A and B are shown apart, each in its own frame.
Chain A
């Protein structure tokens, strides 16, 4: 019985201490909106509705010689609900005249893999104009990103 009382007391003590801090965070929550607005452009947030898949393409010039420029193309993608469904992808980059700079890359990410890297060797004279990226879960509709790299 004595032990039971001790346990009960301890539980009260612990919840008591925890409860003291319950409201501490409340004040800071008021800043949400300003932070969201300020950061929107930093992220160039582009999803117009809840996206099933977060995805983006990063283009990195790695090396070049007199004729050719090699780019590393890295696609990042993940399901927005944390689920493990496969993600099928297609991506391609085009020069400023709309001509493909490298062959279309296609494939599938599975098992939670969120990154795929491809190499692209383009003519040095060509200027990067646009990237087209498509992702979907098998059988689903394509999500499409058509990103321009010229002003």
Chain B
């Protein structure tokens, strides 16, 4: 009996070490709202997330890691849904997983109508998204690299040690980033 208690204790402390904290309260888990969550230690320090994957409501919702705060992830749904998500993180050098949910996301209003800002249809969408995904971890704002040329970007990927890992970018992708950086508002 005591043995079982010891084991349960060991297992539970192991599981409690990491937890997912919804940053919005239940009354804010609604359609169209970008809902933030945080993976943290019981000491409330954030844990970087390696990857995230929806395991339900795939057609209603999407999930992404906040590119600027890697301990946080965001979920947004366009229809009511019951959402579960797998959150992967590194612990003691191994990838671990927490399954979070199911979480009920209700309709934001009975009338169902929500005024949305028009979809960003700008020509430089690809470049903007690439910059956000590939560059913003180090260059916090596109204005920091405004009007850079293709050659400048290409050369910095080769010559700046931190940027070497970006040599996977194709020339077309670099051109898209260049086009975006040359057309900031």
Contact = CB atoms under 8 A, between A and B. Distances in A.
Chains A and B belong together in one complex: yes
A50 B65 contact: no
Nearest to A60: B109
Contact of A72 (B27, B109, B141): B109
A147 B94 contact: no
Interface string B73-103: 0101000000000101000001111000000
B88 A25 contact: yes
A40 B133 contact: yes
B170 to A, nearest CB: 13
Contacts, number: 159
Q: Is the interface of A mostly helix, strand, loop or mixed?
A: mixed
B161 interface: no
Nearest to A6: B3
Interface in A121-136: 128
Given A29-B50, A36-B67, A112-B25, A61 B132 contact: no
Size band of the interface chain B makes with A: 35 or more
A74 B30 CA distance: 11
Contacts of B64: 35-36, 39-40, 43, 45
Interface residues of A, number: 57
Contacts of A74: 108
A81 interface: yes
Given A60-B115, A72-B109, A82-B40, A43 B142 contact: no
B65 A28 contact: no
A28 B129 contact: no
A43 B74 contact: yes
Contact of A49 (B72, B74, B88, B141): B141
A30 B51 CA distance: 8
B52 A60 contact: no
B53 interface: yes
Contact of B136 (A29, A30, A48, A72): A48
Interface in A8-24: 10-11, 14, 22-23
Contacts of B10: 11, 14
A97 interface: no
Closest 4 CB pairs of A and B: A78-B23, A29-B51, A114-B24, A50-B68
